[in-house]
Amino acid sequence: MTRRLLRGLALVYLFFLLVLPIGLIVWRTFENGVSPVWQSLTDPSVLHAFRVTAIVSIVTVVFNTIFGLGAAILIVRHQFPGKRVMSAIIDLPMAVSPVIVGLALILVYGRFEPIGGWLDDRGLQVIFALPGMVLACLFVTLPFVVREVVPVLQEVGTDQEQAAWTLGASRVRTFRRITLPAIRWALGYGIVLTLARALGEFGAVAVVSGRIVDKTQTATLVVEERFQNFHQPTAYAASFALAAIAVVIMLVINGLRPKEDDR
Amino acid sequence: MSIRVRNVSKRFGEFAALRGVSVDIAPGSLTALLGPSGGGKSTLLRIIAGLEQPDEGSIEIDGIESTTLPPQRRNVGFVFQHYAAFKHMTVYRNVAFGLEIRKRPKAEIRERVQELLALVHLEQFADRYPSQLSGGQRQRMALARALAVEPKVMLLDEPFGALDAKVRKELREWLRRLHDDVHVTTVFVTHDQEEAMDVADEIVVISDGVVEQIGTPDDLYDKPASDFVMSFLGPVTRLEGELVRPHDLDVTTSAENGAVRAIVSRVVRLGFEVRLDALANGEPVSAQLTRAHAGRLDLREGAEVWLRPTPGASVLPSTTGGSRQPDSDGALDGDRDGLVDRDERVGRLSVSTLRPGPHRP
């Protein structure tokens, strides 16, 4: 009886929180059939925004995968002064609001700041351009790969790697053939989380991008802009597209979850 | 393929794992590094393999100065206590790993792996994953994997430590036979004196970072160099300030030359043998005799007996002082019996040797 009540409560909660809002977006998107949706999504500015999102997300995933792997190995396998501080700093983006991240980046890389000015003199505009947006996404997605890989790396231990060394495998080979396969699920999970977060990032990117239509506008920014300007159909269509991508990513996450046999 | 270890020292922070250890291991021998946990034997093995760097001293393998060689270039086979199986590879791929690294032709690899799997009785498990094998099977796979690259020496770190008693016994017999067949110089680490005596030709007793004694199992048992070695290798008791094995005590009911008078406090029948606990001058002592012998003497509580070490028995003066010696107060004054229990000693020893610092089980 209690169990049924709890289950009912949970379902009602999820319904009003998740299912109803997202369902309504789908409903509103396809209210007038498929062709207006197609029209909205093929609007050059919308297409451009999705392209910008894709570029920023992919660059973010590449950099943070490399950094995340390196940082995880450093944290688990090496002793060095400042290790605890580094571990704490990596978690910081979880706690800091993305808007603050954006403002902080402007303070460092803005055109009228020392570092930003120096870069600008050499032809690299960071703020109100792609580099700044990538930096913002890198910042907010920093912890995902590290936090997924660290516990698995700890659990795997060093025995297998050392066994590979005694069998003649170099460090690089051992990493490729022993370490990487052992952490592949965790790494994949971290990458997918990073990608999902980068695709949906709004706050930090809104601050550093300057929201320049057809230049630095991303998919989430285009949704907001069209919504504010009463272009509801386009806003709903773009939202639907983003939500659909998120669902696909979620399915990938579930597919990546290791089966019992693999453990 | 000999191994020469010269004056090797190794510290982990404050903890001195090895202090000036020198050992020679003869080509083709089967040697046990025996000692209590935390005594430094695993560290020594890992230094020989190149998995750990000594702070001082040198390692020579097969006449080649190897102290600074990385593990990849020492050509040693290493077997870990917890198997270190490559979990994402089949048994076949595990065993083939070293050969694939050496880029041997496919046909040769297949032939060699089949041969090794037959040697360790795992032919029918070639396509399984390690998670589908029992502990004993995994360890045999690890042995085959190490043997595949034809190492100059085989190093085994507590190879049977994670297995249950029955499998452990089987595997150690099997290791002994394997060594007779393959004849590769083999060194294994154990804290089990029975295992060392059963399997090894030569035993190196290591405790507290130093070598206590090196010799054949018989040497160590019959001529222990210290009371530590004597009590580590088997039960000992103390009679008139001398350490002696309980089964080396002659028990009589009449006064004999050189015998010590004692009052029986307990008689325990343990299957085919009888353990006699007695008090000699107020000090507990323990003797072991056969059932028939005990029956003839008609021993019972409160009876008077005379004890003396049998001629030819190994007897050591029981010196006191220092944490590695049996204390005059602790174990021997026990309420139970005069037996200095090995496990108890080991327990006490590990407490005294466990200092802050990384723990090497």
When pLDDT is cut at 50, 70 and 90, the band that residue A259 belongs to is low
Name the phi and psi angles at B60, rounded to 5: -125, 130
Nearest CA in chain B to A170: B72
ipTM, two decimals, is: 0.80
Contacts with A162 from chain B: Cβ below 8 Å: 51, 71, 78, 80, 84
The helix or strand, by DSSP H or E, that contains position B352, with its residue range, turns out to be helix B342-353
Interface of A with B in 174-213 (CB under 8 A): 177-178, 181-182
Q: How many residues does chain B have?
A: 361
Q: Is B95 on the interface with A (CB under 8 A)?
A: no
- As a whole number of angstroms, the distance between CA A160 and CA A105 comes to 42
Q: Which tens digits make up the pLDDT trace of B14-48?
A: 899 999 999 999 999 999 999 998 889 999 999 99
Nearest CA in chain A to B49: A166
Per-residue model confidence (pLDDT) at position A58? 96
Closest CA to B339 of B226, B247, B251: B247
Q: Is B70 on the interface with A (CB under 8 A)?
A: yes
Q: What is the pTM of this model?
A: 0.80
| Better-predicted residue by pLDDT, A1 or B226 | B226
A262, B98: Cβ pair inside 8 Å? no
Name the phi and psi angles at B56, rounded to 5: -140, 165
Among candidates A163, A169, A261 on the partner chain, residue whose Cβ is nearest the Cβ of B84: A163
A166, B49: Cβ pair inside 8 Å? yes
Q: Which tens digits make up the pLDDT trace of A160-205?
A: 999 999 999 999 999 999 999 999 989 999 999 999 999 999 999 9
Which residues of chain B fall short of a pLDDT of 70? Answer: 319-361
Per-residue model confidence (pLDDT) at position A180? 94
Alpha carbon of A197: minimum distance to chain B alpha carbons (Å): 30
Q: Is A260 on the interface with B (CB under 8 A)?
A: no
Instruction: Count contacts between A and B (CB, < 8 Å).
Output: 63
Per-residue model confidence (pLDDT) at position B167? 87
A168, B149: Cβ pair inside 8 Å? yes
Q: Which tens digits make up the pLDDT trace of A99-140?
A: 999 999 999 999 889 999 999 999 899 999 999 999 999 999
Contacts with A169 from chain B: Cβ below 8 Å: 72, 97, 101
Q: Which tens digits make up the pLDDT trace of A200-237?
A: 999 999 999 988 889 999 999 999 999 999 988 899 99
Burial B25-61 (b: 16+ CB within 10 A, else e): beeebbbbbbbbbbbbbbbbbbbbbbbbebeebebeb
- As a whole number of angstroms, the distance between CA A139 and CA A146 comes to 13
A160, B97: Cβ pair inside 8 Å? no
Q: Is A232 on the interface with B (CB under 8 A)?
A: no
Q: Is B159 on the interface with A (CB under 8 A)?
A: no
Report how far Cα A95 is from the mean position of its chain's Cα atoms.
16
Q: Which tens digits make up the pLDDT trace of A37-55?
A: 999 899 999 999 999 999 9
